[in-house]
Amino acid sequence: MPLVTLAEVLQPALKNGHAVAGVVTLGWEDMCAYVAAAEAENLPIILQAGPGCRAHTPLPVLGKMFVYLAERASVPVVAHLDHGYEFEECREALECGFTSIMYDGSRKSLNENIDKTAAIAQMAHQHGMSCEGEIGFVGYAEGENSLGTDPAEAARFATETEVDAMAISVGNVHLQTDAGGRLDEERIQAIESLTEVPLVIHGGSGVPNDQRLSLAADTAICKFNIGTELRQVFGQALRTAVNDDPDQFDRVAILKQTHDPIMQATRNVLRSVTPT
């Protein structure tokens, strides 16, 4: 089926009490495994190209890869630009076939974040595509600290930007290598009481599975971004493949051995955000 927009998968999620996984892509091998997992679970999936991915592979190439996979998939697939920082980069993504863009103005002042996000959301909507924004900076493990989202500011942000999804800072952290943290459910409830926009959790790898499930079922959180835990699986599978046969040198043969472990891990992720 063709690519779908972020709004097309998040609005049903909001209505029906589940979430959709936004999986961080880095190359062809993980993209294929992600889509295979979504087909096995018969669930939609959001393929995300973040800054690291884009530094390695140009947007025009990524767009064609996403479109190719989506058109051959039996489930809805969203092509999503994650953490776009410039207007031109977001525009280029739309021109390259992406159906959703996330503009990250969370380091900027509230007024500047609103103004720039609104302009990019308008551009996306003019193309018939979706836009995600971020209000309240989400920090990084062993790096910048999270600032937390003010509910009143979130309400204003949602209204004035008209985004299709809103990433919030509620105790989540990017690049966590373990799921030891829990999100601030009181802050989440305060935010969702003031807006009807689907909410997004970046740094979802740091959220325990039981809380992912409960938040997906009972709150307006409709998207969990998952990257680190899947990259860890890829790394381990790659090390195993190389170490099991030190004489092996063919790149394709080695990378093929990462498919099944990533696929199974992704199926587990999809189940962790979709209450049965």
Could you list the active site residues?
A: 82
Establish how many alpha carbons lie within 13 A of residue 184's alpha carbon, considering only the half-sphere containing its beta carbon.
18
Q: Quote the CA–CA distance of 11 and 44 in Å, as a whole number.
A: 12
Burial class (CB in 10 A: 0-12, 13-18, 19+), 105: buried
Cβ-contact 130, 174 below 8 angstroms: no
Instruction: Please state, in angstroms and as integers, the Cα–Cα distance from residue 70 to each residue in 4, 63, 265, following that order.
Output: 9, 11, 20
Q: Quote the CA–CA distance of 40 and 50 in Å, as a whole number.
A: 25
